[in-house]
Amino acid sequence: MMLMVDMGNSALKWATLNQNQLSPQQRILYKKDGLDSILTQVWLTLEVPWQGIFVSNVAGLLNANILSDWTERHWGLEVTFVKTSSNQCGVKNGYTNPEQLGVDRWLALIGAHCLATGKLCVIDCGTAITVDVLSIDGQHQGGLIIPGMATMYHALANNTYALEQPELLNNNWDEVINSVQQTFPQDRENLSLAHKTNAGIRLGALYAAVGLIEYVMHTLNKQENSTTTLLTGGSVPLLKPFLQKSYQYVPDLVLQGLKNIVNQT
């Protein structure tokens, strides 16, 4: 049994790989000063992954060291951190400097290429919203990056004096979603307008994300009708009611890519 890990900027995701089958992805939020305790909380009950621990990490060297130290102390195992390459699993990196493409985006492209056929668009909705396009033959054609909904929300709250309010600054995005999801408009044909600043920021961030995703899907499909869009990331469930174009939702797309790289080695 192996452990596949996707360590993002705000959430830790993992699944076990056994006989080439991934278990359902697990996900938990963490703060930069609390990763060790989070790992103790969620991983001590796992079966020891004697066959290896493979990690996609975009959360920096400090968190990588914390994770490595934890697995060494508790399991006596070293971690393998996967890196972006120029050509792997049938996918060719489109960046001028291939290593500058985030490993999570790279793995999501590989996962998409292994799960779907034809021209692909991969959209990851997390701390950032990233868009990457893959040609039929696996050539990465480039991408886009904007702040994710939570990042938009907190950037405005942190950088606008009049908005420095505890209810804006102290909430993580999952708490924001849970507290206001039922108040978001479910009728996507009509525009909902807020009557409080807090709600206005939330709705603005939501509509900004929806606008980008819908524009990308519309433009790609206008150019070539056979483009398949795959969505992943923690904010997708909130976006779902507002997306009118067809797409595939793959929550563990990064781990799917990680699985394919591990199988190739």
Q: Which residues are catalytic?
A: 104
Residues 6+ apart with CB under 8 A from 191: 185
232-to-51, 100, 237 alpha-carbon distances in Å:
27, 21, 9
Please, which contacts does 241-249 make with residues 24 or more away whose CB atoms are closer than 8 Å?
241/184, 241/186, 241/188, 242/188, 242/206, 242/207, 242/210, 243/210, 243/213, 243/214, 243/217, 244/188, 244/214, 245/214, 245/217, 245/218, 245/221, 247/123, 247/217, 248/115, 248/116
The helix/strand/coil state of 160 is coil
Does residue 78 contact residue 64 with C-beta atoms inside 8 Å? no
